[in-house]
């Protein structure tokens, strides 16, 4: 299948055109060539594949795809916010060492030692185990955001942000 054909399938499913045939072709393509598409599609279309699972997959696939779609769309929202605001360079030293109180008892991420990313990866990985195609796309989406997202340049200051540090479960997390 050519990339244009896959994109057309996704568009057909969004529009409700030729649903049964399009679903059958889409899911067959993902189960047989998902890893190929992970490497060839742009981030936009990787997310569209996940959204297609969220709209048309099994109940479990829909649920797990929504986790990945939410993650991707939150990064997109955060990157858009960066386009609208001026960066505060004086905040970086504080966030490396400590949390900053934000609002309603919520703290910022402490860049160099927070366990939030570890807990997030653990929860997502645990849920995606039963949907390997979605997990495959999530790993590729996550890697693309790690390399490209202005918001996620946080990894420059905390290279451990993207690592799975829980090994034997998050109760054994020791921090950095």
Angle at 73 between CA 23 and CA 67, to 5 degrees: 65
| Residue 22 to residue 30: CA distance in whole angstroms | 12
Domains contained in the chain, number = 1
Question: Measured between alpha carbons, how far is residue 142 from residues 92, 94, 106, 127, 149 in Å?
Answer: 23, 26, 25, 16, 10
169 three-class SS? coil
Please name every residue paired with 107 in a beta bridge, in sequence order, or none if there are none: 101
pLDDT digits (tens, 9 = 90+) for 80-103: 887 788 777 777 778 777 888 888
What is the span of the domain harbouring residue 90?
3-172
Would you place residue 158 in the very low, low, confident or very high pLDDT band (cuts 50, 70, 90)? low
| Residue 17 to residue 25: CA distance in whole angstroms | 13
* Locus of tokens 């997502």: 124
- Residue 154 has a pLDDT of 66
Q: Which of 10-14, 143-147, 158-162 has the highest mean pLDDT?
A: 10-14
- Residue 176 has a pLDDT of 46
- Residue 86 has a pLDDT of 74
Tell me the two tokens of residue 170. 């998050």
| Residue 148 to residue 136: CA distance in whole angstroms | 19
CB 168 within 8 A of CB 95: no
pLDDT digits (tens, 9 = 90+) for 12-68: 999 999 999 999 999 999 999 999 999 999 999 999 999 999 999 999 999 999 999
| Residue 54 to residue 73: CA distance in whole angstroms | 13
* Locus of tokens 């799975």: 164
Question: Measured between alpha carbons, how far is residue 138 from residues 13, 23, 98 in Å?
Answer: 21, 20, 30
């Amino acid at each position: 299948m050519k990339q244009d054909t896959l994109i057309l399938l996704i568009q057909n499913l969004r529009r409700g055109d030729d649903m049964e045939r399009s679903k059958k072709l889409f899911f067959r393509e993902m189960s047989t060539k998902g890893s190929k598409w992970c490497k060839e599609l742009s981030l936009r279309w990787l997310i569209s594949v996940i959204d297609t699972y969220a709209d048309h997959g099994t109940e479990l696939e829909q649920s797990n795809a929504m986790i990945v779609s939410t993650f991707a769309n939150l990064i997109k929202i955060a990157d858009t916010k960066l386009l609208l605001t001026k960066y505060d360079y004086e905040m970086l030293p504080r966030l490396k060492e400590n949390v900053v109180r934000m609002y309603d008892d919520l703290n910022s991420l402490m860049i160099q030692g927070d366990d939030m990313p570890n807990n997030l990866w653990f929860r997502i990985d645990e849920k995606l185990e039963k949907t390997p195609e979605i997990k495959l796309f999530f790993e590729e989406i996550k890697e693309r955001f790690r390399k490209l997202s202005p918001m996620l340049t946080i990894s420059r200051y905390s290279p451990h942000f993207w690592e799975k540090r829980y090994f034997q479960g998050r109760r054994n997390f020791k921090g950095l």
